[in-house]
Amino acid sequence: MASATSATRQQGMGALPFEQGVAFRVWAPHAEAVFVIGDFNAWDEQRHPLIKEDNGVWYGEVAEAKVGDEYRYLIVNGEQRLSKIDPYAREVTNSVGNGLVHDPTFDWQGDSFKLPPWNELVIYEMHIGTFRDEEGGTPGTFAHAIEGLAHLKKLGVNVLEIMPAAEFAGDFSWGYNPAHIFAVEQAYGGPIAFKEFIREAHKQGFGVILDVVYNHFGPSDLDLWQFDGWSENDGGGIYFYNDWRSETPWGNTRPDYGRGEVRQFIRDNAMMWLEDYHVDGLRYDMTLYVRTVRGEGTDLPEGWGLAQWINGEIAQKYPGKITIAEDLQNNAWLTKDVGAGGAGFGAQWCAEFVHPIREAVIQPDDEHRSLHDVYAALTFAYNGDAFERVIYSESHDEVANGKARVPSEIAPDDPTNFFAQKRSTLAAGLVFTCPGIPMLFQGQEFLQGGWFQDTVPLDWDLTDEYRGVVRLYRDLIRLRLNRAGATRGLCGRNIQTFHLNEPENVLAYHRWDNHGAGDDVVVVVNLSNTHHEGYKIGFPCTGDWKLRLNSDWQGYSPDFKNHPSADVAAKEDDYDNLPASGEISIGPYTMLIYSQDPPQ
């Protein structure tokens, strides 16, 4: 059993096992008395009263208690006798059950994983309940997800972003309705299973980022609500705003970011995931509703300050770990340093990329595509740094709530037809060849259609049926990460869109890190249903440019045209504002990627 130090028992919150029993500490400033009840005292409501400390905190030690015992707090406030789950409970039987005394120690077997540099991250967003399900209509678990790591390893991604895993109401959920933010969802396997998943992911070379939800709690199965019996305006009590600032799109359950104990509660939660679970980063859900009440114009300065505090501490204590904001308002201050007044996030999801790219490939008529919008998406950056943005064509939000996966948006009646395959993979090609941190959503790589539902698991049979499309994604990721040593420029910050032919829907851009053979990359995109022969474009220098990928290759799909493309011998020529030019042939809705062999 873990042995909490004397210092931990003096300051720590929740149930703290130590050699002589378990210490319990809870914040309940309006309580007249607090008792801890559980298996250890046969749920006797009077046997173990807690002693009131400073600032409304109550504390007691129970020699009979041990790891694994179920427990609750009985809070007395006037005539109210409230039975509550510990807000800091590290484990619960379920969202409306009891807390469990949890031993936070775990054999990490020497785990010392470090994230790759941020310009070499490729994120795979996954939902544990649907990634690999269990037979019988129950949610998938962390153990099932471990079984899927072999597929992800072969695919080539190196970071797994886990949709929220904190205990939520029921067994099926996206996870953005946290009931107990310190506990891990039991339907997924609970806290030990999550640690086992992270340990195995690290062994196989994957970083793990966890989605956290601090813009609201619940709104259901929420024992935090009026926790110690006090509230104002029928509000949520000590953990929540009790006025108009409580309002969120998900209920009136916004935490009170201005109250020190609530700020500490959220900060402690963020640090727990990094320290006790070894996660490599946090992705904050919809920070717009942390920093504002209703969007722009209703600022919550204390919410901004809370993000600064947590992000600043993470950056100082754990350099290399990443925090990501989902804000989608293109506010560059989110990713500015705390010292400069920014919120201190490492990166943010980029609406300026996903929306124009999805529109470009979903649009059925070639003449209505906007290459200028695609150009703007490719070249956008926060604070001049492309790696302050996460770029994607699918995410859990983009493929639900009235929207579907890209293939289904392109061809609702047949999301595996030529156009759906061609244009959805073209969107992915733009993700992997553009500056930024690329992200996939689970199943995207094998043409999962429809829309995301937390009760519908991925159809893994598609990995065989569309194994060529899986290979295309794998090849794109290998090029993006420079696995063959000839495409280093795709890891760089630099992009120059040197050819933009709006009438023909042909776009070409140059990617580089430090320039030179093996670094410079040229990407050509045909966003039309017309092939082009002998099409002239510029090149950054003369010499042989090797074709590294032709997305029209029939090996990727028997439905593709297999339009012949070849290496290019670029000749000296002032063309497209570049010093050389060459002629290419490109199929419909196709991407070509060229680079030069590095010097031997």
Query: Which residues, including other chains, have CB under 8 Å from residue 79's CB and lie 6 or more apart?
Result: none
Placement of tokens 């061609």 in the chain: 422
The domain ranges of the chain are 6-100, 215-349, 488-595
Residue % of the chain over a pLDDT of 90: 96
Q: Is 386's pLDDT higher than 70?
A: yes
**Which 3 state secondary structure label does DSSP give 71?**
strand
Whether omega for the bond prior to residue 164 falls within 30 degrees of 0, making it cis, is: no
Choice between 331 and 6, residue whose per-residue pLDDT is larger = 331
Other residues' Cβ atoms within 10 Å of the Cβ of residue 280: 26
CATH architecture of 488-595: Sandwich (2.60)
State residue 3's pLDDT score. 57
Instruction: Read off the tokens for 542.
Output: 């003369």
Give the DSSP letter of residue 298: S
What's the mean pLDDT in 301-329? 98
Other residues' Cβ atoms within 10 Å of the Cβ of residue 249: 11
Are both 6-100 and 488-595 of the same fold? yes
Instruction: Read off the tokens for 410.
Output: 């392109």
CA-closest candidate to residue 284, choices 294, 273, 275: 273
Q: What's the pLDDT tens digit per position in 286-295?
A: 999 999 999 8
Q: Is 1's pLDDT higher than 60?
A: no
Give the DSSP letter of residue 138: B
State residue 9's pLDDT score. 66
Q: What's the pLDDT tens digit per position in 32-91?
A: 999 999 999 999 999 999 999 999 999 999 999 999 999 999 999 999 999 999 999 999
Question: What Cα–Cα distance (Å) separates residue 505 from each residue in 369, 433, 500?
Answer: 8, 18, 8
State residue 137's pLDDT score. 77
State residue 589's pLDDT score. 98
Question: What Cα–Cα distance (Å) separates residue 347 from each residue in 213, 289, 439?
Answer: 17, 17, 12
Long-range contacts of 455-458 (CB under 8 A, 24+ apart): 455/130, 455/172, 456/130, 457/130, 457/131, 457/132, 457/133, 457/140, 458/130, 458/131, 458/132
Dump strand ranges (E) for 363-455. 389-391, 437-441
Q: Is 206's pLDDT higher than 90?
A: yes
Q: Is 446's pLDDT higher than 60?
A: yes
CA-closest candidate to residue 133, choices 121, 142, 125: 142
Phi, psi of 591, rounded to the nearest 5 degrees: -115, 135
State residue 297's pLDDT score. 81
Residue 444 C-alpha from the chain's centroid: 15
Report yes or no: 546 and 486 within 8 Å, Cβ to Cβ.
yes
Q: What angle do CA 240, 189, 204 make, to 5 degrees?
A: 110
Instruction: Read off the tokens for 39.
Output: 């298996």
**CATH class of the 6-100 domain in this structure:** mainly beta
DSSP-derived pairing of the beta strands 521-526 and 506-512: antiparallel
What's the mean pLDDT in 396-417? 96
What's the mean pLDDT in 320-329? 97
CA distance 579 to 571: 9
CATH architecture of 215-349: Alpha-Beta Barrel (3.20)
The mean predicted confidence, pLDDT, of the chain is 96
Mean pLDDT is lowest, of 88-92, 297-301, 361-365, for: 297-301
pLDDT confidence tier of residue 600, bands split at 50, 70 and 90: confident
Instruction: Read off the tokens for 287.
Output: 């920070």
Phi, psi of 211, rounded to the nearest 5 degrees: -75, 130
Other residues' Cβ atoms within 10 Å of the Cβ of residue 135: 5
CA distance 541 to 594: 12
Rg, Å, the chain Cα set = 26
Report yes or no: 131 and 152 within 8 Å, Cβ to Cβ.
no
Count how many Cα atoms sit within 13 Å of the Cα of residue 181 in the half-sphere of its side chain.
Answer: 26
What's the mean pLDDT in 227-232? 98
Q: What's the pLDDT tens digit per position in 453-496?
A: 999 999 999 999 999 999 999 999 999 999 999 999 999 999 99
pLDDT confidence tier of residue 2, bands split at 50, 70 and 90: low
Other residues' Cβ atoms within 10 Å of the Cβ of residue 434: 25
Burial bucket for residue 401 (CB in 10 Å: 0-12, 13-18, 19+): exposed
What's the mean pLDDT in 561-586? 97
Report yes or no: 141 and 192 within 8 Å, Cβ to Cβ.
no
Whether omega for the bond prior to residue 319 falls within 30 degrees of 0, making it cis, is: no
Instruction: Read off the tokens for 442.
Output: 């689970």
Q: Is 135's pLDDT higher than 70?
A: no
Report yes or no: 420 and 446 within 8 Å, Cβ to Cβ.
no
Q: Which amino acid is at 115?
A: L
CA-closest candidate to residue 211, choices 174, 242, 246, 241: 174
State residue 561's pLDDT score. 95
- Beta partners for 347? 324
Other residues' Cβ atoms within 10 Å of the Cβ of residue 137: 10
Q: Rounded to a whole number, what is the largest CA-CA distance in the chain?
A: 90
Q: What angle do CA 214, 384, 375 make, to 5 degrees?
A: 100
- Beta partners for 180? 167
Placement of tokens 């420029």 in the chain: 489
State residue 11's pLDDT score. 80
